[in-house]
Amino acid sequence: MTKKWLRWMPAAAVPAVIAAAALAGSLPASAGDPLPAKTPQEVLELMAQHTAPSLSGTLEQTSQLGLPQLPTTGPSAGSDAASVLELLSGPHTARVFLDGPANVRVQVLDRLAERNAVRSGDQVWLYSSKDNTATHLTLPADGGQHKDFGQYKHPGAGTDGVMPTPADLAARLLAAADLTTEVTVLPEVNVAGRAAYNLMITPRTEGTLIASAAIAVDGQSGLPLSVELKARGQNEPAFTLAFTSLSLEAPDASLFAFSPPPGATVKEIDVPAHGTGGWPAHSTESGAVPDAEAPDAAVPGAVPGSRDPDIGNPRPTVTGTGWESVVEFPAGPASAEAGAMVSSDPLLQQAAVAVPGGRLFSTAVVNVLLTDDGRVFAGSVPAERLLTAAAAR
């Protein structure tokens, strides 16, 4: 599953596919003075008033998705599939540094490697020490407002190999909230030494795999400190993401200055200004000019069969609402790439089981159906819902 179409999954499903989140709501309450009582609406307003912060912190992520055991050796050990599944399983630790929206650094500390996403002004770097490769891009004068590069405003929110922050995940989960959602405030919790409101979001529909989501909201700043996601039928959280240490002081400016290490392979990506149309036909890599990976541009709810005017890829369509949303990716380059990955990688073949008309990639909180005719259906819904949607079109 690539970044080109992960972002079109329902808001409740996105945390599951890019490495998502949760914090158990049983943390001890603050030992200091209790926070002033607030209604759910008042806590939501506190979150909405929160702006891009200055902070330094450490994030811990755990997940229980029911994915297959990752191999340590063999043909799949270093594959793209293994990299994707690694992000969705096991514990991960990341250091996060923010100084306003234009200075961001996220360092994911793997067992034997480190991945970095760094933005300093209009300069963005993505680096992996595992293979000593870096990707560099310069945001255009419009501030990176191109519809496919908004993700680079905050590296870690949709960038390959980098964990999202609790604020990213909270925004996506709240986007799924509708009239079928119950929102309550539970007793306050303590996260990273800070007293926080415990906002509980519960879908009031059985048509979703999501049982509940808990967001710990800092009582002073409104910053989301942790997110918990539970699946139906499970007592333990399916995902947890939480700050374990946090300072709201501005980090040292040197943290946002990045240069690739000696010998690194560097890929340059040209980012067109918003409205100029099109992505370049290639990117420039040290010593080579490979075909570029042109991101899909799409609009939810688009007319089936329509194509993006900039790129020409089929647009995805969304059926259902809120927690029961299903996204369909028509047959095209992005869906073909996903299908080819499943067909060629033994690890994904193990994870994606055969079903009538295709193969199903299933986790505790999201299902993805790849049909034999090249379409892809995804949603935080039971597998039967995806099979029905595929048969109806």
pLDDT digits over 32-70, tens only? 679 999 999 999 999 998 876 799 999 998 887 765 444
Q: Per the domain annotation, does 283 fall within a domain?
A: no
Element (H, E) at 40: helix 40-49
Residues 89 and 138 in one domain: yes
33 vs 26, 28, 219, 244, 341, CA distance in Å? 19, 14, 11, 21, 53
Q: Which of 256, 284, 318 is the last residue of a domain?
A: 256
User: Which of 247, 210, 240 has the alpha carbon at shortest distance from 226?
Assistant: 240
Residues 224 and 340 in one domain: no
> pTM for this structure?
0.72
331 vs 136, 349, 381, CA distance in Å? 30, 20, 21
Q: Per the domain annotation, does 95 fall within a domain?
A: yes
Residues 14 and 155 in one domain: yes
Q: Per the domain annotation, does 262 fall within a domain?
A: no
The predicted structure's pLDDT at residue 344: 64
DSSP-derived letter for residue 288 is B
Q: Per the domain annotation, does 288 fall within a domain?
A: no
| pLDDT at position 144 over 90 | no
Residues 213 and 339 in one domain: no
The overall average pLDDT reported for the chain is 74
Residues 183 and 77 in one domain: yes
The predicted structure's pLDDT at residue 287: 33
Q: Per the domain annotation, does 319 fall within a domain?
A: yes
Least confident residue range of 34-43, 91-100, 237-246, 284-293:
284-293
Beta bridge partners of 226: 216, 242
Residues 245 and 341 in one domain: no
* Mean pLDDT computed over 159-172: 74
φ/ψ of residue 385, rounded to 5: -65, -40
Question: Per the structure, how many domains does the chain have?
Answer: 2
Q: Per the domain annotation, does 336 fall within a domain?
A: yes
Residues 138 and 30 in one domain: yes
CATH code, 159: 2.50.20.10
Cα-Cα-Cα-Cα dihedral sign, residues 144, 146, 149, 150 = positive
The predicted structure's pLDDT at residue 245: 96
Residues 252 and 302 in one domain: no
Q: Which of 236, 256, 276 is the last residue of a domain?
A: 256
The model's confidence at residue 9, banded by pLDDT at 50, 70 and 90, is very low
Residues 234 and 359 in one domain: no
| pLDDT at position 333 over 90 | no
Residues 187 and 306 in one domain: no
Q: Per the domain annotation, does 281 fall within a domain?
A: no
Q: Which of 256, 281, 306 is the last residue of a domain?
A: 256
Residues 238 and 324 in one domain: no
Residues 304 and 216 in one domain: no
Q: Per the domain annotation, does 82 fall within a domain?
A: yes
Containing structural domain, residue 339: 294-392
Burial class (CB in 10 A: 0-12, 13-18, 19+), 389: buried
Pick the more confident residue, 293 or 316.
316
